[in-house]
């Protein structure tokens, strides 16, 4: 069918163009390639100058490539740093969290995991399963809504206002009868999270599961992720949940300290 072939050709063209763009970024990122002009890139990549010029123009418009102000050379743009810093932040958090997470899991016997924010969801990047006979499980890479999970709320509460509003001021779907679905109430909840330094989830995402979580900060005082602990309600009363919150906060503080966060960020929190 002509229509199907046309769609296939379009998909192939898009992927080929993307691949060429990535090769351009790769060439500009090689050691010693601080700046390369159109001719140098064309020879290095075996790419037609017209095609290369269009790709460079697109990358420049998006901030991934910049042109030398006093010449015809191209070099990587600052937008590339935002991609790299996001990846490095995740890797640094995971590395710094290894020992503190193990200690928290050992002390509580519960599922402990590490999350980062991706859009309006939290993604698990590390997890240690509890030692109890009946214990919860989590998969690395699993995603959950930020607005109704302890891990998500621990991060959202410390985001810049515009970024937090994009998550809070929207339709909040109920996953259980306990899910907070009114933005005004969620904001009040997040204010309390800011005061205490840890968040909680009382069966708001999954029935029969209670969670606590605390934010992890970096050197620039920005929130990088969260330490979270999940346990079945059958052995986690509200009183125990309230005891686990400060434990998660202590673990988050230790990870944050390793990442260079100022101590006073945690000194302000109240139990």
What is the reported pLDDT for 103?
93
The domains of the chain, with CATH numbers, are: 2-77 (1.10.10.10), 84-267 (3.30.450.40)
What is the reported pLDDT for 14?
58
**Tell me, what DSSP letter sits at residue 155?**
H
- Rounded to two decimals, the pTM is 0.68
What is the three-class DSSP state of 221? Answer: coil
Residue closest to 213 by CA, chosen among 110, 140, 133, 132: 110
What is the reported pLDDT for 7?
42
Digit-by-digit pLDDT tens for the chain (271 residues) are 333 344 444 455 557 888 888 888 888 887 555 688 888 899 989 999 999 999 999 999 988 999 888 778 898 888 887 776 666 566 688 888 889 999 999 999 899 999 999 999 999 988 888 776 555 666 788 889 999 999 999 999 999 999 999 999 999 999 999 999 999 999 999 999 999 999 999 999 999 999 999 999 998 889 999 999 999 988 888 888 899 999 999 999 999 999 989 888 888 887 6
157 within 8 A of 190, measured Cβ to Cβ: yes
Q: Name the CA radius of gyration of the chain, rounded.
A: 23
What is the reported pLDDT for 179?
96
Which tokens go with 199?
């968040």
């Amino acid at each position: 069918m002509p229509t199907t072939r046309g769609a296939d050709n379009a998909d192939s063209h898009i992927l080929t163009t993307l691949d060429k763009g990535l090769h351009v970024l790769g060439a500009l990122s090689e050691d010693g390639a601080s700046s390369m002009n159109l001719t140098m890139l064309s020879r290095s990549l075996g790419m037609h100058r017209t095609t290369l010029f269009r790709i460079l123009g697109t990358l420049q418009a998006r901030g991934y490539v910049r042109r030398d102000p006093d010449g015809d050379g191209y070099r990587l743009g600052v937008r590339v740093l935002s991609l790299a810093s996001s990846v490095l932040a995740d890797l640094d958090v995971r590395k710094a969290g290894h020992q503190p997470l193990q200690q928290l899991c050992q002390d509580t016997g519960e599922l402990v995991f590490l999350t980062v924010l991706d859009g309006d969801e939290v993604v698990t990047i590390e997890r240690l399963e509890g030692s109890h006979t009946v214990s919860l499980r989590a998969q690395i890479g699993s995603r959950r809504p930020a607005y109704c999970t302890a891990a998500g709320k621990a991060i959202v509460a410390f985001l810049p206002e515009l970024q937090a509003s994009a998550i809070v001021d929207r339709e909040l779907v109920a996953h259980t009868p306990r899910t907070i679905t009114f933005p005004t109430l969620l904001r009040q909840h997040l204010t309390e999270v800011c005061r205490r330094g840890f968040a909680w989830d009382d069966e708001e995402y999954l029935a029969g599961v209670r969670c606590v979580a605390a934010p992890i900060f970096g050197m620039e005082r920005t929130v990088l992720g969260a330490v979270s602990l999940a346990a079945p309600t059958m052995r986690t009363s509200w009183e125990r949940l309230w005891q686990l919150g400060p434990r998660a906060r202590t673990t988050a503080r230790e990870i944050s300290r390793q990442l260079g966060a100022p101590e006073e960020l945690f000194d302000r929190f109240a139990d």
